[in-house]
Structure 1
Amino acid sequence: MTIGSQIAWDDTVLPFQLDRSDIRGRVARLDGVLEEVLSKHDYPPQIEALVAEASLLTALIGQTIKLRWKLSLQIRGNGAVKLIATDYYGPSEDGQPARIRAYANFAADQLDPAVGAFGQLGAGYFAILIDQGPGMVPYQGITPIAGGSLTACAETYFAQSEQLPTRFALSFGQSTAAGETHWRGGGVMIQHMPKASPGVAGDGGSGEGGLLQNHDILDGDEGENWRRVNLLLDTVEDLELIGPSVQPTDLLVRLFHEEFPRVFDAQPLRFGCSCSADRVRESLSIYSPDEIAEMTTDEGILTADCQFCGAHYEFDPATLGTGARPE
C-alpha cells in the first residue's frame, strides 16, 4: 500500500514504519466503535473520558496480536473508579475485522466533580493480558498507576515491562455532523524497534517511584532518532488525530515525511462482545443450590446482564449451578 492509497478510515488501525529512524507505529481512528462502546452505558463525563482513552489504547496496542488471540487492558484503582476493562479480539482470519469492547466499574457517589478523570482512579495498577488460546498460559504484565493519564501509564508499562520506548498521542470527543452528535477518537502510537540486548544504566528510572521512562532506555544515535521523531509527533493537532478531514496517510506525510514513512495493510475494527447465554450459564455452574436460590428473584428467575454490551439474560434457577437437574 502506498501513502496515496485511499480506504475508508473510520474504525481502522493503520500500521506504519519510519525507515530512517527504525521506529514503527500505528494510526487509529474510532468512530462507530467508540460510539457503541459508550452508548451502551450512561457514564458521567469523567468515566466516558477514561473509557474512550482506554479504548483507543487498546486499538493501538492490540493490532499486533495474532489471529484469534485476545488482548485485554485492566486498570484497577482504589478510588471512585474501581475498574476500566477492555478486550481486543484478534480477527478470525486475515482481512476480517478485529473486535473491541470496554466498560467501567465505579462508585458514582464517590466521584469528585473537582477532580479530573484520571484522579478518580486513586492508587492501583495498569495491566496488559494476552490470551493466546486453549492450551496456552496467558501472559500478564503489570505496572503501577502513575504519570497522570492512562496514556502515561501505557508508556510506562512498555518502558518498565518490555523495555520498549513507546509514545502515544490521543484525542477524542463528541462531534456533530448532519445534526447528529456522536463520539469520535483517534491516536498515533510510535515505538522504537526492539534492541538485540536492551540494557538500562543505573538502579532505576526517572519516572514516578523510580519507574523507567523512554529516555532511560535509549542513547546515542537511537536516542537522537527517538527524540527527533517525538518532536515531530508533538506538532500533531487534535483535529488531525480525530479526523475525518485528514486521512491517516496524509497525517503521516505531514508529520514524518523526512523519516520515510512506509505503511502496511489497515486493520478494520468493530464493536464486538463475546457474551452468550451459554457463557453466562457456564460462569454460574460453580454456585451451589443455596447460592443460586439467593440470586433468584421473587418471580422465580435468575437474571444476568453483560457489563460490556448490556445484554440481558434470564434463566430457570433449577437448570443452574452444581445442583442443576440433568436435561
Structure 2
Amino acid sequence: MTLAEKIAWDDTVLPFQLDMSNIRGRVARLDGTLEEILTQHDYPDAVAGLVAEAAMLTALIGQTIKLRWKLSLQIRGDGPIRLIATDYYGPSADGKPARMRAYASFDAERLETEPGTPFDKIGAGMFAILIDQGEGTTPYQGITPLAGGSLAACAATYFAQSEQLATRFALSMAQVSEPGKGAAWRGGGIMIQHMPKASPFAKGGATGDDGLLAAADLVQGEDDENWSRVNTLLDTVEETELIGPHVSPDRLLLRLFHEEQPRVYDAQPVRFGCTCSEEKVRQSLSIYSAKDIGHMTTDEGIVTADCQFCGAHYALDPASLGFEATDAPGVDGGSGAGGS
C-alpha cells in the first residue's frame, strides 16, 4: 500500500454490501481523528482504550445518519469509569467530512485500586444511543444494560434488543509506531448487519447475557446460514488488518468476503470536531440570576468554563452573564478558543 493510498483511507468510513448474503456493513479507519480525540486528555491506559473503542463504534454506527444530524453514545456505570460520551455530527453538506468528539469521566483513585478488566471498571449501568435530528424534533433514545464484556458486545446487544437487527463488530485499537515517528493511536473496525426480509422475531427466545436478545436469535433458515458463514469469514480478520495502514479497507473486504460479492459505496471522511463556543456557554448560563452568577465567580472576578471534550477554556465577565446581566457580551476579558 503506497503512502498516497494510506492517506486516502485514513479517517474514513467505507460502507459496503454483501450481495450474496443480504448483509450490509462498514469498515472504519481512524488515525489522526482518534489521536486528536485522545490527546485532548491524559487518560490512563484503561480509560483511553475504552474511549478509543467507543469512538470506533460511534464512527461505524454514525455513518448512516443524515446531513446535520447528531448521533451520540453514552456509557454510564457505577464503577470507577463513570461515563464515556461520544458525539458524531453528520456532514454539513454532501462531500463534507463528518465530525467526532469523545471524553470520559472517572475516579482515578478507584481506578487504581479496584480489580478487573477495563470494561469491568465501568460497573453496572447502561449503554445508550441518542439521535438528534435537529431543531423542532424530539431526540430518539435507545437504552440497553451493559453486558457481554466489551463495548462492542454492548452495541451488538443494543441492535438486537432495540432495533431487532443482527449485528456484529470486529474492532482493534492501539498505539502504533511508524518509522521516523512516535507512537500514535490508530483504530480500525468492521461492522456487519443482517437486513431482514420481513419483521424479525426471536426464533427461540433470548440467548444473550442477562436474558437479552443476541444477533443469532434474529436469523433463521437460509438467513441463519448466511449470517453464520459471514461471521466465520470475519473471524479470520487479523488485528493488524483492521488497524492498517498496510491493507486498505477495499482490499480487506475482498480478502475476507470475495465470494460474497462485496459492493462498496462512497467513503465518508471523518475529522475531530468540537461544537463548543463562548455563545453556547453564555446561553447555558442565561437561566441564572445575578446571585447565582455571583456564586460561580472566582476570586479573580471572572466566571470560567472548560469544555470536557476539547479542553477549551472560557473566562467571562460575570456582569455580562445570566438573565440579569448589566453589561453586553464582549466587554469582558475574552475567552479561550472554542472548537470548530
Q: Distance in 2 between matches of 1:183 and 1:20?
A: 35
Give the structure 1 partner of residue 286 of structure 2.
285
Q: Does 1:74 align with 2:70?
A: no
Length-normalised TM-score, structure 2:
0.92
Contact 2:29 2:187 in 1 (8 A): yes
Give the structure 2 partner of residue 197 of structure 1.
199
Q: Does 1:88 align with 2:88?
A: yes
Q: Distance in 2 between matches of 1:136 and 1:323?
A: 30
Give 1:197 shift: 1.7
Alignment RMSD (CA, Å):
1.3
Give 1:47 shift: 0.4
Letter in structure 2 aligned against 1:240: E
Q: Distance in 1 between matches of 2:82 and 2:272?
A: 23
Structure 1 SS opposite 2:174:
strand
Q: Distance in 1 between matches of 2:215 and 2:167?
A: 7
Measured against aligned partners, the alpha-carbon deviations of 1:139-182 in whole angstroms (never above 9, x if no partner) come to 10000011100000000000000000000000011111113211
Q: Distance in 2 between matches of 1:132 and 1:175?
A: 36
Q: Distance in 2 between matches of 1:8 and 1:31?
A: 12
Structure 2 SS opposite 1:286:
coil
Q: How does 1:5-20 map to 2 (within 5 A)?
A: 8-20=8-20
Measured against aligned partners, the alpha-carbon deviations of 1:17-36 in whole angstroms (never above 9, x if no partner) come to 00000000000000000000
Give the structure 2 partner of residue 297 of structure 1.
298
Give 1:6 shift: 8.9
Give the structure 2 partner of residue 124 of structure 1.
125
Measured against aligned partners, the alpha-carbon deviations of 1:47-77 in whole angstroms (never above 9, x if no partner) come to 0011000000000000000000000000011
Stretches of structure 1 that go unaligned for 5 or more consecutive residues are none
Contact 2:203 2:220 in 1 (8 A): no
Q: Distance in 1 between matches of 2:82 and 2:6?
A: 41
Give the structure 2 partner of residue 51 of structure 1.
51
Q: Distance in 2 between matches of 1:186 and 1:36?
A: 15
Q: How does 1:95-114 map to 2 (within 5 A)?
A: 95-112=95-112, 114=115
Structure 2 SS opposite 1:53:
helix
Give 1:284 shift: 1.2
Q: Does 1:36 align with 2:36?
A: yes
Q: Distance in 2 between matches of 1:93 and 1:163?
A: 31
Stretches of structure 2 that go unaligned for 5 or more consecutive residues are 329-340
Structure 1 SS opposite 2:42:
coil
Give the structure 2 partner of residue 244 of structure 1.
245
Q: How does 1:54-65 map to 2 (within 5 A)?
A: 54-65=54-65
Q: Distance in 2 between matches of 1:7 and 1:292?
A: 48
Give the structure 1 partner of residue 208 of structure 2.
207
Give 1:185 shift: 0.4
Q: Distance in 2 between matches of 1:315 and 1:67?
A: 33
Letter in structure 1 aligned against 2:238: E
Q: Distance in 2 between matches of 1:56 and 1:179?
A: 23
Give 1:291 shift: 2.0
Give 1:112 shift: 3.9
Give the structure 1 partner of residue 166 of structure 2.
165
Length-normalised TM-score, structure 1:
0.96
**Alpha-carbon distance change, 282 to 264 in structure 1, aligned in 2, over 3 angstroms:** same
Give 1:292 shift: 1.4
Structure 1 SS opposite 2:93:
coil
**Alpha-carbon distance change, 186 to 6 in structure 1, aligned in 2, over 3 angstroms:** closer
Letter in structure 2 aligned against 1:82: R
Give the structure 1 partner of residue 184 of structure 2.
182
Give 1:194 shift: 3.4
Measured against aligned partners, the alpha-carbon deviations of 1:227-262 in whole angstroms (never above 9, x if no partner) come to 000000000000000000000011001000010000
Q: Distance in 2 between matches of 1:99 and 1:208?
A: 33
Letter in structure 1 aligned against 2:283: E
Q: Distance in 1 between matches of 2:58 and 2:228?
A: 25
Q: Does 1:155 align with 2:156?
A: yes
Contact 1:118 1:148 in 2 (8 A): yes
Q: Distance in 2 between matches of 1:141 and 1:230?
A: 25
Contact 2:203 2:219 in 1 (8 A): no
Letter in structure 2 aligned against 1:154: A
